[in-house]
Amino acid sequence: MKKRFLVLLTLLLIVVLSGIAQAQDRPLIFWSTEEQPERAAATQAIIQRFTEATGIQVSLVLTNEDILDSLMAANLAAGTLPDVMFHPVDYAAAWYSEGILSSEAATAIINELGAEQFSGLGLVGDGMGGYVTVPTDGWGQLLIYRQDLFDAAGLERPDTFEKILAAAEALNDPENNFYGVVAATDPAAVFTQQTFEHIALANGVTLTDAEGGVTLNTPAMVEALDFYTTLTGQYGPPGIVDVAGSRATYFAGQAAMIIWSPFILDEMAGLRDNALPNCPECAADVAYLAKNSGFVPAFQGPSGTAPAQYGQISSMGISTSAPAAAQEFVKFWLSEGYLDWLAVAPEGKFPMRRGTPDNPTEFIEGWSTLPAGVDRKAPLGDFYSQEVINTIAEGAAGFDRWGFPQGQGLLVSGVYQDLIVPRTVADILSGALTAEEAAAEIQLGVEEIQAAQAE
């Protein structure tokens, strides 16, 4: 009860403050979910530079991501929407349909800055050739593999289901505590959903069709489920594999491949003390894995039409009630203030604006020089080649997600909350279900979530 009271009090306070601000000749109201002190300070510094350059005042309001949607609903009802909001892509479609986000403003910014330089636009379309929000930064799942071991065994780059399975089988050596792959199987973790979705997207599996009908009981889904459970069940470590355990296995030099987010990049380089690589070769060079791993952002299954990659992006949204100055603020954020923003966490903030029309790779090049890490700081470019950085950048151009291109953000949220996919994957691994039975069960479960949301 106490927690619920505090949440309601926070909602009321932000609504009241927003109403007071909007009743006056006021600064722009900017909501950001980056509450950590160092990130808030970096945000304020960019705001100060913008004000000095333009004379436009901006009031920063820090919002907790867990209650962001509720806060927005309350301010929509009160007529006190913020002008600009930094938000996950998960809310974009719903907020646009509710009249919160201005596609006219977002589209104007993207076109003015150069749409050809942006990644992630496929996740923020308005269905009419425009965009509902402006992608700023993001990350995509990566298949990371031991390049040194692949080269020694004469194995091909694992960019198809067939090549991934072949490499896992060839390098799997459980008697010596070495596995062909390590990937999430924890039935209670969103990380497992994200990892499997990466696999499913590669095989052409979508959450729904254009009309919103659930499309998960398909041969392609069965194929993806069978591939993932064969891969992790036959060539992965035994037991439940969670996010920390998968990383620890790869860092110990006990797996040939891992599927993880790019937040692993600074850790592989030995820049975080509570996640240091400890492979046999790492004793002489803690960054050995960083220097001897290959990266596959997007790969393809037998039923996929093109390589695909799971991507999570954050955006700058402009509300339908915002003044024209809001567009100037977002354009400044994505130009003069951009590298300062990415610098708060380079390993997890890959630039969605790759560069400018005059220099198409300006921000990617700048990103690679930004100091990353926690206990030690160093540019990722000190450990990863330009070829690796370019590979990650090329993958970002094709980020995909279940549901978002079809405007099904609300359904996606329900699927993630229910965790039906991770639970069903675990049932296949335990032998309780076949891949065919699991696809049917997932289809039914998602349809039930959809029906409940429609009530």
Q: What are the chain's domains?
A: 2-137+312-382 (3.40.190.10), 140-309+401-454 (3.40.190.10)
Contact 302, 309 (CB under 8 A): no
Structure tokens at 116: 């050809």
Measured between alpha carbons, how far is 130 from 183 in angstroms, rounded to an integer? 37
Among 371, 277, 393, CA closest to 38: 371
Bridge partners, residue 293, by sequence = 146
- Nearest-Å Rg of the Cα atoms of the chain is 22
Burial group, residue 39, by CB count within 10 angstroms (0-12, 13-18, 19+): middle
- Measured at the alpha carbon of residue 404, what is the angle toward residues 98 and 74, in degrees to the nearest 5? 30
pLDDT in tens, the chain (455 residues): 444 444 444 555 555 444 444 444 689 999 999 998 989 999 999 999 999 999 999 999 999 988 898 899 999 999 999 999 999 988 898 899 899 999 999 999 999 999 999 998 988 998 899 999 999 999 999 999 999 999 999 999 999 999 999 999 999 999 999 999 999 999 999 999 999 999 999 999 999 999 999 999 999 999 999 999 999 999 999 999 999 999 999 999 999 999 999 999 999 999 999 999 999 999 999 999 999 999 999 999 999 999 999 999 999 999 999 999 999 999 999 999 999 999 988 888 999 999 999 999 999 999 989 998 888 999 988 999 888 888 887 778 778 999 988 888 889 988 998 999 999 999 999 999 999 999 999 999 999 999 999 88
Q: According to the model, what pLDDT value does residue 396 have?
A: 80
**Residue 81 is which amino acid?**
L
Q: According to the model, what pLDDT value does residue 14 have?
A: 53
Contact 228, 430 (CB under 8 A): no
Measured between alpha carbons, how far is 125 from 176 in angstroms, rounded to an integer? 49
What pTM was computed for the model?
Answer: 0.86
Structure tokens at 130: 């425009």
Q: According to the model, what pLDDT value does residue 21 have?
A: 42
Q: According to the model, what pLDDT value does residue 20 have?
A: 43
